[in-house]
Structure 1
């Protein structure tokens, strides 16, 4: 198995890269910004891939992306059977050539080809294709094909042998021909495949025939089992398969729809895995494959039924051996939901025993949101499993559609938006401790809880009526449960079914099963073992009421000491008392047997039921937990919060949860079980600040170095309502350790601020937290190379983000560079340099640094002069890169960017 090493090829070598062409300035090459790219432009083991996906912008924008610290570029390389050629470097788009061959970026190469076999203009199908037989189209639920383009994803019939074979042959040709590096081509770092191809419910005759075979195998040849699940009277599996349910019938025929969707998911996932393995196996360098899937198939019921049949859990299992340690998924959004989705994907790609695996986001952005939301979102996702990214998109003047909407450069003015400055600081922040971010994994033995994401129930779920977006989450919204737990200070992981293993679950204080009514017998047995061995399960609705085929089985009634009854899910309940006004879908009909009803409704019905089992316990909540909301608080909340575009997945979710009553009620249930939050703000303003901040769980390497991200909640606020949270103190569970260096680096500059860490008698630590506007990183380092910092440059104007230095042509300013020891021993002598573009002047050219004591941090000052003409074309983020050298090589790096005011002449 090839685990997380992206640069290994045949015999452990990464075959030749062409040198950068036409570049005389070292800062025009990506290796100027990273210590994990060697002098030949090849990635070292600590390399962390980060890019800004292009869209063929002007060459100056590619230059800006380089200066901002990004080094990954999406490109394309396709070969087709019998053609024996691939796209040559000189024929590539200009931006792609500049990124790969001028600036030295790595290629995330898309082996993307949806065309049918020759003749490629097969606009009228079905028809014969030489060597591949009859080629047919996919069919929608209406039996129509005429509206489908033969080269589209929707029309691709994976059940047609000829279409399937040609696609696999194309992947083999691409791997074989494009995989062998051309004389001028830069080798691919890893492969992608078709863009966001996640299948469809295909009603073609070939699909129905395959469905009949699948049904017979699934039900062990017993048609009675199918009739029980489908509530039908079919005499054969072929008869049932000939009448698959339409999408709208997920309500009236849930068992049939689950089977139809599961069959399609299994078939499509297996086909995509076969295509990926074919590409990988025919690549002479055996480079990893990272497919561009999407967040749509995580926890969004409407699009999971209508726009795809993709299953991340299943695909991750099949791709782990050729993944290079990365699983690809496009994720757009912000705040808690972004963390929720990336965390889930991280646990999909993780094996049961754990390993060096993480998430790659081939596209990522906070929609059209502002810079403060960008910063508060993307610092924290690093602590939820992100290990590579290609942000969408740089944008440029005159850009259209998504490239304008999501662009980091304003499409009207051509100037960087505030989020571009945050993106650059994020990239440079990663480079400062790049190897640590690459290697870090969640620390063991930390207090965590988990939420199961039950996909079978997702497929049958509906969004609440107040959520109009097609990307809305289900009424029983697990991402809101995640948010409420995070508001209270709990660390939360999101798990797929295959992590319902006593060993994997053993790392958690409790498992939440929200809306998990459909479970297999094996899953129920493993859950029972987890509880018996000392675990805690908190469930709502009717856990295990159905098996995976939608047959009533009451599988967990005995575990919970309750008999769950039939329920239409339409009633509602007000929590009352201190939580009056908080409404949930409920009450679920429950007959308590061996459990204890610890809370009942006013009319005596069980609301909360508890039972001890072996060394563990279970808690049942007779409601849809994720449906809690406070309609009476909505107007008050809206006075400070801005609405999100109604047609995005996160529309309105910040509003319904912002009064924090839901979080307090949920915390009360956990505390009654003795499960306290992982952290609590204890300083001045701590209680008021708690719901608004997110301190992520600690990640660390095998040297004892630890990083935690600290951020605001990233919720959009109305103009004038944005907040800067004051300094405070947090009591948090941390590993024991004598830290060589404890500092904080904020998202608004590259400086380092000392923080206090004090071990408490209860085994926790008290940590001083600086004020924050968006986010930052807490560095607790035990044995690490020295750190460099560049505090905010003073005596200059500010760019549109309110923080970056904005300068005039010809201006001279002072910059400070911090050098801090981060190891157990004193830091020996070395020298410090600040590098800028050649037309810029930095004085002195070099500063000698003497010996620094353990834990010491010193500051050094440099004078920077901007050339009279600005020295470069616009737009740009002009780089200033500090490096410290111990006489043997550069051991520390830190960079910042300054912005040249409008009016400077272009080259």
Structure 2
């Protein structure tokens, strides 16, 4: 059963925390929300201590008034279960529910998400809270969606306590069929005398004197993701029993180097996929991060999604928290819509004057309505109303990039050939040239259906199981183009090296064989024929049917192929045995995609982002000008610019720093 969000157009709003303010402020909140065009707010995310001041004693009087007030003003509520922040009384009664870190220290309460995900006491209390909310508000007319918990695993993705150890063993017995011999084989425990003869001997990978067993550590990451998922599913079942028609979500965090959860496993469990995204002050081109994040979330959702949190200006949790520049608030929000967001929301509605996030920006800042942020917020509300018809439209990608959390976890374990490899950095290095060229991109699992794509890129798939490897090879065999990055296909799902030469699972399909790896030191590079340099990695490649496209020109591998191309089946495979400098990599990927028949969404001046969403009767072309000069782009002769309502005579002018959204009827 598909449960849809019953908020018209592009939903707009943010986290609303009226409990932080005197009740006389609430009337002003309603008036200003209507002025800004707010249509939905998230309520109650961190209100457990107010809703249940002591165990079993609930007080919903404040929440009753807030929901009634929102409904009276035509504003929908995304009602949260407040289970991300248990109250102090809970931990006084259940100190064993506090998390334990890898070094064996039990943490204290006094913040948020300071609970052990495997704690029976926490689970019982969270489900009681969810059930009380569901029973009271299942039929409230303001409630259009359930917001389950908040940012699962943000601060407590891993707990190493004895209860977590017990739960880990239960998970392992389910995975390995209650057979210790199978587990010992999968973990390679004969190395370093690690064989287990009793399930109770198995512990979480706590701090130890040397390098942990890689498969032990990998299974632990899988368990931690699944353990938190089980909490989401348990709360979701409670809500579903009370309100079978109401959709539920929880907010993902696919970027910011947050890698705790395997969102491919999570996404099918959500009625509506949501994501939180915040800019990094140190990123000089954060618009690329927004695009990559949006494409990844859209791919997880299989279509439109919701942006549950981002910021109007500065955040409070980075070493230096910079405000956004002129027009950046609007560009950021519309870039998320361009990548599939059918809702735009912020943390938070009104900037807090106390607490840990008092210096985090908000829709209504400390300065009030006489501020640039407020003027931008009101303008954005009008923009989103003008884009109502875009809701439900989808992407148009012919290129897919392989993204796999298991591969990421495995590659970033200790004792790799190089500790300098970062999964997300490698993916972004390959993604950037496509973004600059205006090429639409989806993200896929290794075992995904690839029939819709002309080109599949696998920048970093260190770990891949037999099914995923066969799927990627088969894509090329059947006529597709597959490009693979270095150190891919090296190990199976148990982190066992695929013997016979690298790159393991893809060796024959790529028509090459590597017998030794030569990772590069920080700051070290090698020359490449045709110009350019390679960094991070090199390896001794031997051609076994492939042709050399570029070779190393310096270092111990001078003359050895660094980039290869091979005819495989009716398709083509490419291998990059180093990370070329950005210009060289862009040139290579331009050749790869051109040969594969992939074209940009639209030809635009440099610095103008072009993104297409496809509706049933029209295409919606988003043009985001990241430059300080106006840009002109050709469009269909019967097109309309939606933000202004103006008809376009075959072209559109996009002012510096501005955005245009063009409807082109089909």
TM-score range, shorter chain: 0.7 to 0.9
Aligned to 2:16: 54
Counterpart pick for 2:586 among 660, 663, 669:
663
Aligned to 1:610: 565
Hey, what's the Cα distance between the residues in 2 that align with 1:400 and 1:168?
27
Q: Is 1:725 aligned to residue 630 of structure 2?
A: yes
Hey, what's the Cα distance between the residues in 2 that align with 1:235 and 1:229?
5
Judge conservation of contact 1:49–1:387 (CA < 8 Å) in 2. yes
SS at match of 1:176: helix
Instruction: Tell me the CA shift for residue 709 of structure 1.
Output: 0.5
Counterpart pick for 1:701 among 615, 639, 644:
615
Hey, what's the Cα distance between the residues in 2 that align with 1:399 and 1:84?
27
Q: Is 1:359 aligned to residue 306 of structure 2?
A: yes
Task: Say if 1:236 and 1:6 are closer, same or farther in 2 by CA, change over 3 A.
Answer: same
Judge conservation of contact 1:223–1:235 (CA < 8 Å) in 2. no
Counterpart pick for 1:424 among 369, 375, 378:
378
TM-score scaled by structure 2? 0.83
SS at match of 1:257: helix
Q: Is 1:587 aligned to residue 560 of structure 2?
A: no
Q: Is 1:332 aligned to residue 278 of structure 2?
A: yes
Aligned to 2:126: 167
Aligned to 2:443: 494
Aligned to 1:69: 37
Give CA deviations for 1:122-156 in whole Å, capped at 9, x if unaligned.
Answer: 42645xxxxxxxx64432212222x32298523x2
Instruction: Tell me the CA shift for residue 481 of structure 1.
Output: 2.4
Task: Say if 1:168 and 1:409 are closer, same or farther in 2 by CA, change over 3 A.
Answer: closer
SS at match of 2:536: strand
Counterpart pick for 2:576 among 600, 617, 621:
621
Counterpart pick for 2:647 among 754, 760, 767:
754
Q: Is 1:176 aligned to residue 135 of structure 2?
A: yes
Q: How does 1:142-153 map to 2 (within 5 A)?
A: 142-145=103-106, 147-149=107-109, 152-153=112-113
Judge conservation of contact 1:536–1:617 (CA < 8 Å) in 2. yes
Aligned to 1:141: 102
Aligned to 1:2: 2
Aligned to 1:556: 506
Give CA deviations for 1:628-653 in whole Å, capped at 9, x if unaligned.
Answer: 45xxxxxxxxxxxxxxxxxxxxxxxx
TM-score scaled by structure 1? 0.62
Judge conservation of contact 1:85–1:177 (CA < 8 Å) in 2. no
Give CA deviations for 1:794-841 in whole Å, capped at 9, x if unaligned.
Answer: xxxxxxxxxxxxxxxxxxxxxxxxxxxxxxxxxxxxxxxxxxxxxxxx
SS at match of 1:389: strand
Hey, what's the Cα distance between the residues in 2 that align with 1:405 and 1:163?
29
Q: How does 1:479-878 map to 2 (within 5 A)?
A: 479-497=428-446, 500-501=447-448, 504-553=449-498, 554-565=504-515, 567=517, 569-571=519-521, 572-576=524-528, 579-580=531-532, 582-602=533-553, 603-624=558-579, 628=581, 662-671=585-594, 675-681=598-604, 689-690=605-606, 692-697=607-612, 699-702=613-616, 704-713=617-626, 723-729=628-634, 741-745=638-642, 750-757=643-650, 768-781=652-665
Judge conservation of contact 1:515–1:624 (CA < 8 Å) in 2. no
Pick the structure with more helix per residue: 2
Judge conservation of contact 2:399–2:440 (CA < 8 Å) in 1. yes
Hey, what's the Cα distance between the residues in 1 that align with 2:55 and 2:356?
37
Hey, what's the Cα distance between the residues in 2 that align with 1:247 and 1:387?
44
Give CA deviations for 1:199-232 in whole Å, capped at 9, x if unaligned.
Answer: 4212122322333343355455324423427844
5+ long unaligned stretches in structure 1: 8-42, 127-134, 351-355, 464-471, 630-659, 682-688, 714-721, 731-737, 758-766, 783-907
SS at match of 1:612: strand
Give CA deviations for 1:465-503 in whole Å, capped at 9, x if unaligned.
Answer: xxxxxxx97574322422221112222222344xx33xx
Give CA deviations for 1:534-556 in whole Å, capped at 9, x if unaligned.
Answer: 21111111321111221112222
5+ long unaligned stretches in structure 2: 280-285, 315-322, 414-420, 499-503
Hey, what's the Cα distance between the residues in 1 that align with 2:631 and 2:213?
54
Instruction: Tell me the CA shift for residue 116 of structure 1.
Output: 6.9
Instruction: Tell me the CA shift for residue 275 of structure 1.
Output: 1.7
Task: Say if 1:247 and 1:596 are closer, same or farther in 2 by CA, change over 3 A.
Answer: farther
SS at match of 1:620: strand
Hey, what's the Cα distance between the residues in 1 that align with 2:15 and 2:363?
11
Judge conservation of contact 2:394–2:614 (CA < 8 Å) in 1. yes
RMSD value, Cα: 3.5
SS at match of 2:391: helix
SS at match of 2:277: strand
Hey, what's the Cα distance between the residues in 1 that align with 2:424 and 2:79?
39
SS at match of 1:450: strand
Hey, what's the Cα distance between the residues in 2 that align with 1:516 and 1:346?
21
Aligned to 1:868: none
SS at match of 2:249: coil
Hey, what's the Cα distance between the residues in 1 that align with 2:89 and 2:380?
44
Instruction: Tell me the CA shift for residue 695 of structure 1.
Output: 0.5
Judge conservation of contact 2:563–2:576 (CA < 8 Å) in 1. yes
Instruction: Tell me the CA shift for residue 344 of structure 1.
Output: 0.8
Task: Say if 1:728 and 1:341 are closer, same or farther in 2 by CA, change over 3 A.
Answer: closer
SS at match of 2:306: strand
Hey, what's the Cα distance between the residues in 2 that align with 1:422 and 1:244?
49
Larger-Rg structure = 1
Instruction: Tell me the CA shift for residue 396 of structure 1.
Output: 5.3
SS at match of 1:142: coil
Instruction: Tell me the CA shift for residue 775 of structure 1.
Output: 1.3
Hey, what's the Cα distance between the residues in 1 that align with 2:338 and 2:63?
40
Hey, what's the Cα distance between the residues in 2 that align with 1:613 and 1:459?
30
Deviates more, 1:106-115 or 1:600-609: 106-115
Judge conservation of contact 1:84–1:177 (CA < 8 Å) in 2. no
Task: Say if 1:401 and 1:371 are closer, same or farther in 2 by CA, change over 3 A.
Answer: farther
Counterpart pick for 1:289 among 248, 267, 277:
248
Instruction: Tell me the CA shift for residue 328 of structure 1.
Output: 1.9
Task: Say if 1:744 and 1:248 are closer, same or farther in 2 by CA, change over 3 A.
Answer: farther
Aligned to 1:265: 225
Task: Say if 1:769 and 1:136 are closer, same or farther in 2 by CA, change over 3 A.
Answer: closer
Hey, what's the Cα distance between the residues in 2 that align with 1:665 and 1:531?
18
Deviates more, 1:219-228 or 1:588-597: 219-228
SS at match of 2:562: strand
Instruction: Tell me the CA shift for residue 668 of structure 1.
Output: 3.8
Hey, what's the Cα distance between the residues in 2 that align with 1:214 and 1:612?
43
Instruction: Tell me the CA shift for residue 236 of structure 1.
Output: 1.8
Instruction: Tell me the CA shift for residue 743 of structure 1.
Output: 2.1
Aligned to 2:416: none
Give CA deviations for 1:390-440 in whole Å, capped at 9, x if unaligned.
Answer: 2223445967764544234453x4345434434333322222241x22221
Aligned to 1:106: 76
Task: Say if 1:288 and 1:756 are closer, same or farther in 2 by CA, change over 3 A.
Answer: same
Task: Say if 1:362 and 1:273 are closer, same or farther in 2 by CA, change over 3 A.
Answer: farther
